[in-house]
DNA sequence: AACCCTTTGAAGGGG
DNA sequence: CCCCTTCAAAGGGTT
């Protein structure tokens, strides 16, 4: 795939918001908006249907997730249409832990509390200068549907963290290695500025934070013996721990050491997409406000909130993700997402195969949604 | 210990 | 080109 093209590819017209899929998401959102108004009358019935689906999922086994065929985009739209305070109650209707339920019972856990942080991120994004080609820097087009639930006048309360990073001369937090890095490795004002931003706006984004100070940007990641070599967060030893053993001093045969070397070869992680960045930023907030800990439930909430975001708000995360991909490509030119295939063994793979034969469901339900997604509309950033 | 769950998006491969 | 699969984060729960 033309990553550079889809990823923007620098200062040209290719510096768009991202892949068409992202735009599709916007379209999807718009559709949901339409559905919202359209379905308002049929809400209760659909609610019941969805509840049934959820219950069916539960009865179909522990593997039953949100991935009910036919409960794809429409279902998400319904969730929006039915009001997020109701939607929260449909999460895990049967098996919710009490703490989970308590959390979800709080209306704000499913409503627009995300807004302030999103706007914080937005403020920070705006705080930092755009790339050198500033004039051409694509600004997200205004959303076709301005979410009524997100009045533009709503002023976010910047958390101290955000204020800290927003300040012109942020004081390094104690123990913050990334802030202790002496100089910013990136030559391009684009990325350095961006990742400065990222480290600020995404205060909870260690991944991104250390990206921008990553020594690999100076000499290559994790170079053994390099004085400033700090492992890139995207580089994870197979053990999952940052315990790089650059040299094998043991008396092993070459073959053995070779095998071991392969085994210990650090894994370069995929760059985070827009939603992942959003989740990383918002997770702590949701946990705090909803007293939730289970990531599955949190992610469901975040998924709904993601869809409730305006285009502009989502565009910020698409932009961040695009920059992540750009930087990732710069750091690891030959890397392919395929490199990590098979590194996670998934039992669900077998389940999925079974479900295919049985015609039940997808492992996660993502694809039915995509399959049911409305036809893409004209890209809003390109053209 | 490893995987599951759950979300969306990106990417790659097969048909 | 479309569809499917896998992985990215996260952490409690499950095997």
Measured CA to C1', what is the nucleotide nearest A297? Answer: B6
pLDDT of residue A234: 72
Characterise A241 by phi-psi region: left (phi > 0), alpha (psi -120 to 50), beta (else): beta
Distance separating alpha carbons of residues A279 and A321, to the nearest angstrom: 12
Q: Up-side HSE of residue A245: CA atoms within 13 Å toward CB?
A: 12
Protein-to-nucleotide distance from the CA of A86 to the C1' of C10, whole angstroms: 25
pLDDT of residue A313: 94
pLDDT of residue A327: 93
Q: Which of A249, A252, A246, A301 is nearest to A278 (CA)?
A: A301
pLDDT of residue A310: 95
| Burial zone of A44 (CB within 10 Å; 0-12 exposed, 13-18 middle, 19+ buried) | exposed
Distance separating alpha carbons of residues A76 and A275, to the nearest angstrom: 15
pLDDT of residue A117: 38
Measured CA to C1', what is the nucleotide nearest A345? Answer: B3
Burial call A271-294: b when 16+ CB within 10 Å, e when fewer: bbbbbbbbbbbbbebbeebbebee
Protein-to-nucleotide distance from the CA of A350 to the C1' of B3, whole angstroms: 13
Q: Rounded to the nearest 5°, which phi and psi values hold at A236?
A: -125, 125
Distance separating alpha carbons of residues A228 and A237, to the nearest angstrom: 18
pLDDT of residue A335: 92
pLDDT of residue A274: 96
CA dist A249 to A104, A252, A254, A342, Å? Answer: 53, 8, 12, 29
pLDDT along chain A (383 residues), means of 10: 34 37 40 36 35 34 31 34 34 36 44 36 34 34 33 29 32 34 35 33 39 39 38 62 38 52 73 96 92 92 96 95 93 90 65 39 30 29 30
Specify the 3-state DSSP secondary structure of A187. Answer: coil
User: Which single residue is written with the structure tokens 């039953």?
Assistant: A64
Protein-to-nucleotide distance from the CA of A58 to the C1' of B4, whole angstroms: 15
- Asked whether the beta carbons of A110 and A88 are under 8 A apart, the reply is yes
Tell me which protein residue sits closest to nucleotide C4, measuring alpha carbon to C1'.
Answer: A367
pLDDT of residue A237: 65
pLDDT of residue A254: 59
Measured CA to C1', what is the nucleotide nearest A7? Answer: B10
Tell which strand B nucleotides have any atom below 7 Å from a protein Cβ: 2-13
pLDDT of residue A305: 96
pLDDT of residue A267: 83
Q: Which of A318, A131, A123, A113 is nearest to A201 (CA)?
A: A123
- Asked whether the beta carbons of A242 and A219 are under 8 A apart, the reply is no
Measured CA to C1', what is the nucleotide nearest A268? Answer: C8
User: Which single residue is written with the structure tokens 């600020």?
Assistant: A200
Distance separating alpha carbons of residues A205 and A196, to the nearest angstrom: 12
Report all structural domains of chain A as residue ranges with CATH numbers, in order of start: 16-82+347-383 (no CATH), 109-146+155-235+268-335 (1.10.30.10)
Tell which strand C nucleotides have any atom below 7 Å from a protein Cβ: 3-15
Distance of CA A308 to the CA centre of its chain: 15
């Amino acid at each position: 795939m033309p990553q550079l093209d889809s990823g923007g590819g620098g200062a040209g017209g290719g510096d768009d918001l991202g892949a068409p899929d992202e735009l599709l998401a916007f379209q999807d959102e718009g559709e949901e908006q339409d559905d919202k108004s359209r379905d308002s009358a049929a809400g209760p019935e659909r609610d019941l249907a969805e509840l049934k689906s959820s219950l069916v999922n539960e009865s179909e086994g522990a593997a039953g997730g949100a991935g009910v065929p036919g409960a794809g985009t429409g279902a998400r739209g319904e969730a929006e249409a039915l009001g997020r305070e109701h939607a929260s109650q449909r999460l895990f209707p049967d098996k919710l832990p009490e703490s989970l339920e308590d959390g979800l019972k709080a209306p704000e856990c499913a409503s627009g509390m995300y807004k302030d942080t999103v706007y914080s991120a937005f403020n920070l994004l705006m705080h930092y200068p755009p790339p050198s080609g500033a004039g051409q820097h694509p600004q997200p087009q205004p959303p076709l549907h301005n979410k009524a639930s997100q009045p533009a006048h709503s002023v976010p309360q910047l958390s101290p963290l955000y204020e800290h990073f927003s300040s012109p001369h942020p004081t390094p937090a104690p123990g913050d290695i990334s802030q202790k890095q002496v100089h910013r490795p990136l030559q391009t004002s684009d990325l350095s500025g961006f990742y400065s931003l990222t480290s600020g706006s995404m205060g909870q984004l260690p991944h991104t934070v250390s990206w921008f100070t990553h020594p690999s940007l100076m000499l290559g990641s994790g170079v053994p013996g390099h004085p400033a070599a700090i492992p890139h967060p995207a580089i994870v030893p197979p053990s999952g721990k940052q315990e790089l053993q650059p040299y094998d001093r043991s008396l092993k045969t070459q073959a053995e050491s070779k095998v071991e070397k392969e085994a210990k070869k650090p894994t370069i992680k995929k760059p985070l997409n827009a939603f992942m960045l959003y989740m990383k930023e918002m997770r702590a907030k949701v946990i705090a406000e909803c007293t939730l800990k289970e990531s599955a439930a949190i992610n469901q909430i975040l998924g709904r909130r993601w869809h409730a975001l305006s285009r502009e708000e989502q565009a910020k995360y698409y932009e961040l993700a695009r920059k992540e991909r750009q930087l990732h490509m710069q750091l690891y030119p030959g890397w392919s997402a395929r490199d990590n295939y098979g590194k996670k063994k998934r039992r669900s793979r077998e389940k999925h195969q079974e479900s295919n034969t049985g015609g039940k469901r997808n492992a996660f339900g993502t694809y039915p949604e995509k399959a049911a997604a409305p036809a893409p509309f004209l890209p809003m950033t390109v053209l």
